[in-house]
Structure 1
Amino acid sequence: MSTHENLPEVIRKFITSYNEKDVDAMMSCLHREAEFENISNYFAAMNWKGHDSIRALAESSAAAFASRKQTVLMAVVEGDKVALQVEFAGVPLVDLPNGMKAGEATILRGASFFTLKDDKIISLSDMS
């Protein structure tokens, strides 16, 4: 088990970039062949593969929130695999399909699972 201070640098940079809505910095953390999966109680599982697809998602997501912050509550690091318990807080700019309303602060808890390759994130699964 690990605390978030022991997270690989690339994951710390990715979370900081996410919180700052810095899509270019987020993308610099991803392997060229990266895959992202989102599993939620609100939607069926959704998958994105490759930089172009993930960049489009990251840009639209950043634009949909006035503010957002992901906080690591607990981390487990084992080699190239990292599991995080996270808390998401955000204020959407628009009504979202999952029921979030524009201007209403939302807090959710979930888990993120990372796999690293060549000091980059090759796989990310978010569950909420």
Structure 2
Amino acid sequence: MTAFANELRGEAAVTIGKEDFAVAVTFAGLMRLSQAIGARTMDEVYQRLLGFEPFAVSCAVRCLAVADDDEGRAEIAARVLSGTNISAADQADWRTGIEQALTAHIEAGNRVRKTASPLEDVEAAVTGKKPPSAS
């Protein structure tokens, strides 16, 4: 069974061992993750996650798993990171899922920067001037 991942929200399905779950990269999640693994740059985070560095992946599961709250992320992490569940054999599935989630996060940021904000839309409607960020 594959976890349900809402791709419109930047979620990606991941299977590690017998556990299916969804991950989503958020800036808050990246902050928690970089602090937990002592990463100083986004390049380092990216390299360690795609390289399936065990500690980084374990922390990423805890920080980026999709759940309603932190307790839910902790429960997912407990199942996924069980010594009888995760192994180096999960590298390809992890890499596919985390790369999809990282790409979705970056693309969402790019889309936000290319569109007008609600305030800019209101100003354009009221004043008749084009919003500065609109192309």
TM-score, normalization: structure 1?
0.28
Structure number with higher helix proportion = 2
Bigger radius of gyration: 2
TM-score, normalization: structure 2?
0.27
Structure number with higher strand proportion = 1
